[in-house]
Amino acid sequence: MRDSGQDDQPPADDPAPESLRARIRARPDYRRLLLVALLFGTASGSYPVTVLSASLPRIADDLGTTDDVISWVIAAPLLAFAVVTPIIGKVGDLYGHRRTYLVSLSLGSVMALVTALAWDTTSLIVLRTLAQAAKAASGPSAMAMILSSFPRSERTRALGIWAAVVALSPAVGVVTGGPLIEWMGWRVLFVVHGVAVLGAMVAAVLVAPETSRRPGVRFDVPGALTLGIGVGGLLLAVNRGISWGFTHPAVVAGAVLAPVGLGLFLRVEHRSTAPLLPPSLLREPAFHRPIAAQAVLQVGYMGAMVMAPFMLERRWGFRPTVIGLAMLPRPLSFAFCARLGGHHDPRHGPRRVAVTGMLVFATAMVLAGVGAQQRWLPMFLCGAMLAGAGSGYIRPTVANAVTTAAGDDDLGIAGGSMNMLQQIGAAIGITVLTALMADSASGTTFLLLHLAAACAGLLAAWLALGIRDQPPDGTPTDDDRDPPTPSPAPSQV
């Protein structure tokens, strides 16, 4: 990796916090401490997802809105992530991931606390979206710092732990957040969220390393603008087309802006001397096939997950705490199988791991759909558990394949691009399935929607067949040495 040189020397006065950072980084278990600190930050962002999803019906009643509108509390932040993460990931590549990570957490913490004061549906959606957008950089930057600190031979296992912790975080949210919401109301969830993000920032100040920067390289502003316009238009057209109608002026505008913005983005990137996303990466199957497969799987996975609390309330009459507990098998199996996938990837190859996980997910959706139709709760729970297992099993493999194809200089943009396509897939799945679900309590409707999610899993498996088991040049990886430990850098808070 490139090294600017300016970050190699500690400040002359060597303040106490920098001395403490140096002692921490000299510890033999530093990588473990780093992994714990960064995963705490990453997990704090996903902490409220499951219990918030389970509480959507109650929040809708409390704010006097409809199920379709309140689903934007989940969908809108996903859209913000989709637009922001590749751009912020590139910022980290250019100017340092430690600084980007800490700024992201500090803003995210403040906005999460402010979200607890939301006074109506619109303010809740807007404030939560801003909070998640502010925290968007933490995922790509955390991944980049983890990968830059581990040798290549250990990266998939580290990513397996990363995916497992991210999945367990919503499960912790169910166990702790569900009773809190029952006792104190849904607003307390955002208070806990904000405090957790603040704690993660404090933990990272002394542990997170600064990655190398690229002096003299300018940020690709035209590329960022055109990508934002293209992706934003696409998501607007998809998300609002069903609810507002495809002839609505805003939907038509989004449908027009999407190809124009993305076309201009490709043109700008081919002409730029420092592109946001190098065109050579877009042409590389080792880069785009894993991302495409993961995005398609997310259509089914997230669509089914957000649909689940409404189904559990309408088919079984469960309350939010029981709904949250019924959804626990999904993140728990995701976490366990993410670790398993991280161990299997170097043994069996990424193609086999990815295809297996996606076929397991497709099978799970069939089981969950039959369980929903027949009101067989054990079968539905089995399907939900297998859905989490299949999705978790592939996560470290996909992340490692994408970042390996991008190379160490573009870890941030690789992680951001992967997150962008995942969130686009998730937003499409949530919008389409919840719109088709509407206010139905019919078992046949839920069966058909789960079968649609299963089809997404089969399409993802077909795309995963194009994942390579070797690096793009066809030679075994020789970068298995330990990466050099960067010297302590001045605080970038």
Asked if residue 5 belongs to a domain, the reply is: no
Asked if residue 487 belongs to a domain, the reply is: no
pLDDT at 375 over 80: yes
Across 40-44, 183-187, 191-195, 237-241, the highest mean pLDDT is recorded for 191-195
The predicted-structure confidence for 283-318, as pLDDT tens digits, reads as follows 888 888 898 999 999 999 988 988 888 889 889 988
CA–CA dist 22, 209 (Å, integer):
10
CA–CA dist 404, 386 (Å, integer):
28
Quick one: 140 and 172 in the same domain?
yes
Quick one: 283 and 418 in the same domain?
yes
CA–CA dist 325, 304 (Å, integer):
16
pLDDT at 181: 67
pLDDT at 168 over 60: yes
The predicted-structure confidence for 425-474, as pLDDT tens digits, reads as follows 877 887 788 778 878 888 899 999 999 999 999 999 999 988 876 544 44
- Nearest to residue 206, comparing CAs of 103, 136, 102, 134? 102
* Terminal C-alpha separation, the chain: 23
Quick one: 69 and 108 in the same domain?
yes
pLDDT at 238 over 90: no
Quick one: 338 and 458 in the same domain?
yes
CA–CA dist 101, 493 (Å, integer):
9
Asked if residue 474 belongs to a domain, the reply is: no
pLDDT at 176: 61
Quick one: 264 and 380 in the same domain?
no
Asked if residue 484 belongs to a domain, the reply is: no
Are 276 and 89 contacting, i.e. CB atoms less than 8 angstroms apart?
A: no
**pLDDT mean across residues, the chain:** 78
Give residue for tokens 């996938």. 341
CA–CA dist 191, 184 (Å, integer):
11
Asked if residue 251 belongs to a domain, the reply is: yes
Helices and strands, counts by H and E, the chain? 21, 0
Asked if residue 135 belongs to a domain, the reply is: yes
Asked if residue 61 belongs to a domain, the reply is: yes
CA–CA dist 373, 311 (Å, integer):
10
Quote the tokens at residue 74: 């989940």
Quick one: 237 and 132 in the same domain?
no
CA–CA dist 244, 225 (Å, integer):
26
Span 364-383, average pLDDT? 94
- Nearest to residue 160, comparing CAs of 377, 347, 12? 347
Quick one: 353 and 332 in the same domain?
yes
Lowest-pLDDT range, 83-87, 179-183, 257-261, 417-421?
Answer: 179-183
Quick one: 450 and 436 in the same domain?
yes
Quick one: 284 and 391 in the same domain?
yes
Angle at 176 between CA 170 and CA 179, to 5 degrees: 120
Are 77 and 132 contacting, i.e. CB atoms less than 8 angstroms apart?
A: yes
Quick one: 279 and 233 in the same domain?
no
Asked if residue 10 belongs to a domain, the reply is: no
CA–CA dist 427, 447 (Å, integer):
21
Radius of gyration of the chain (CA): 22
The predicted-structure confidence for 82-126, as pLDDT tens digits, reads as follows 778 788 777 777 777 888 888 888 888 888 888 888 888 888 888
Quote the tokens at residue 387: 């859905």
Lowest-pLDDT range, 17-21, 113-117, 209-213?
Answer: 17-21
The predicted-structure confidence for 108-120, as pLDDT tens digits, reads as follows 888 888 888 888 8
CA–CA dist 138, 412 (Å, integer):
10
pLDDT at 345 over 50: yes
User: How many CB atoms lie under 10 A from the CB of residue 26?
Assistant: 10
The count of structural domains within the chain is: 2
pLDDT at 415 over 90: no
Are 201 and 105 contacting, i.e. CB atoms less than 8 angstroms apart?
A: yes
Quick one: 266 and 320 in the same domain?
no
Quick one: 289 and 401 in the same domain?
yes
Q: Domain span at residue 142?
A: 16-212+274-464
- What's 441's domain CATH number? 1.20.1250.20
